[in-house]
């Protein structure tokens, strides 16, 4: 992405006879190992042109890959939508219809400037889960992404119970306790949480979170 942004910035500056940075700040990225989060991230990317006011319908944005998610006759691309679409149904038509419905709803669920919300995908994921509880319950059970990494993801209720049990974070340095902390952090990272957010939530330093991840590494 850095190379892509740099090349485009050079092209843009030449075309419009300007100088300086075109993109400010680091490229935002997050580990994605949770199927629900993956689906929300895909929808978030596709809805952004509409949220930014560039087009009324996200499907009309010229440079969007959303066409690949709704039209089998779309030109070939390095983007492979099948992995995401397979989370949504038993056949192609059912999957594309479900994705289209989710996309339409996503545009209205996200409020404010999406570019300024570092946790926008997480909020979108939760909002969609409230609107489509049955669908997201099924998606969460697939765990296709996690299977590729060997990470065993907890469901939301199990994760909440684990989080409630970390009130005594600073207590206990046994190997079992350290491993439990590492496991919980991995679960949160898999759902898109940043290490800084995890540290703030548990009232510890970012260094403590990094150290916890080193256990058994």
Q: Do residues 72 and 177 share a domain? A: no
Q: Do residues 45 and 137 share a domain? A: yes
| Per-residue confidence band for 215, with pLDDT thresholds at 50, 70 and 90 | low
Q: Do residues 50 and 76 share a domain? A: yes
- Rounded average pLDDT over 128-151: 78
Q: Do residues 77 and 163 share a domain? A: no
Q: Do residues 35 and 85 share a domain? A: yes
Structurally, how many domains does the chain consist of? 3
Q: Do residues 140 and 160 share a domain? A: no
Q: Do residues 96 and 129 share a domain? A: yes
Last residue of a domain, one of 151, 181, 208: 151
Q: Do residues 75 and 98 share a domain? A: yes
| Per-residue confidence band for 114, with pLDDT thresholds at 50, 70 and 90 | low
Residue 102 to residue 125: CA distance in whole angstroms: 11
Q: Do residues 38 and 139 share a domain? A: yes
Q: Do residues 166 and 93 share a domain? A: no
Residue 134 to residue 70: CA distance in whole angstroms: 22
Q: Both tokens of residue 113?
A: 């400037």
Residue 178's closest CA among 194, 190, 166?
Answer: 166
Q: Which residues span the domain enclosing 209?
A: 154-217
pLDDT in tens, 181-214: 888 888 888 776 788 888 887 788 889 888 888 8
The C-alpha torsion from 72 through 4 and 44 to 155, rounded to 10°, is 90
| Per-residue confidence band for 20, with pLDDT thresholds at 50, 70 and 90 | confident
CA–CA distances in Å: residue 138 to residues 32, 82, 188 = 18, 17, 20
Q: Both tokens of residue 159?
A: 């994760």
């Amino acid at each position: 992405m850095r190379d892509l942004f740099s090349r485009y910035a050079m092209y843009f500056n030449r075309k419009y006879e300007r100088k300086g940075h075109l993109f400010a700040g680091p490229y935002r990225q997050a580990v994605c190992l949770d199927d629900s989060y993956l689906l929300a991230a895909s929808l978030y990317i596709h809805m952004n042109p509409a949220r930014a006011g560039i087009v009324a319908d996200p499907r009309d944005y010229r440079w969007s890959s959303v066409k690949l998610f709704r039209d089998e006759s779309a030109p070939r691309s390095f983007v492979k939508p099948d992995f995401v679409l397979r989370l949504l149904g038993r056949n192609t038509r059912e999957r594309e219809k479900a994705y289209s419905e989710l996309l339409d709803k996503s545009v209205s669920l996200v409020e404010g400037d999406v570019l300024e919300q570092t946790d926008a995908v997480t909020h979108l994921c939760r909002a969609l889960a409230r609107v489509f509880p049955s669908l997201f319950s099924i998606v969460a059970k697939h765990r296709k992404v996690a299977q590729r990494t060997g990470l065993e993801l907890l469901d939301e209720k199990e994760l909440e119970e684990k989080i409630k049990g970390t009130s005594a974070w600073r207590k206990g340095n046994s190997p079992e306790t350290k491993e439990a902390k590492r496991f919980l952090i991995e679960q949160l990272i898999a759902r898109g949480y940043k290490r800084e957010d995890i540290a703030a939530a548990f009232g510890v330093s970012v260094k403590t979170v990094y150290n916890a991840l080193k256990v058994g590494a």
